[in-house]
Amino acid sequence: MREILFRGKEIKTDKWVYGYFNGLWSNTVDDEIAVMIRNRECEYYVKTETVGQYTGLQDKNGKKIFEGDIVKFYFRYGLNRGKVVSENLVVSWNASYLSYEFTKSKWDACFISSLRNDFEVLGNIHDNPELWEAK
């Protein structure tokens, strides 16, 4: 069974917190709707735009892959798969297919979840937007 886990950036500290989704709340910081993430230690109000769910996949280094992560995909081709091309992709949820997708740009996506050894997490769209520029 896949582990259900969420992450988001806490409103007050701007640090990543991990736990389970605990609902939408009106926060006291700026009176906007926020997401609450709770874990064993505490409950946190996080910025709604930063919330991402764990995909159930890990990269080639064993790091968990979340929605919003920027991953480098290594595509091997040619005789004996000896040639390697790499490209930065963003992980997002596609509700139409009920699947995570890896997006090269806002118009081009691929479903390649079974190739986890060919991915490496580089960062995410919130902390490292320069790693992925939609063309």
Task: Write the secondary structure of 46-59 as one string of H (helix), E (strand) and C (coil).
Answer: ECHHHCEEEEEEEC
Report field, pTM of the whole predicted structure over 0.75: yes
Give dist(CA 60, CA 54) in Å, integer.
Answer: 16
Could you list the mean pLDDT of each consecutive 10-residue stretch along the chain, which spans 135 residues? Answer: 84 90 66 68 85 89 92 74 75 74 59 61 93 65
Q: Residue 88 class from Cβ within 10 Å (0-12 exposed, 13-18 middle, 19+ buried)?
A: middle
Q: What residue spans define the domains of the chain?
A: 6-50, 59-131
Residue 94: its pLDDT value, please? 73
Name the CATH superfamily for 59-131: YopX-like domains (2.30.30.290)
Q: What angle do CA 132, 104, 9 make, to 5 degrees?
A: 45
Residue 73: its pLDDT value, please? 80
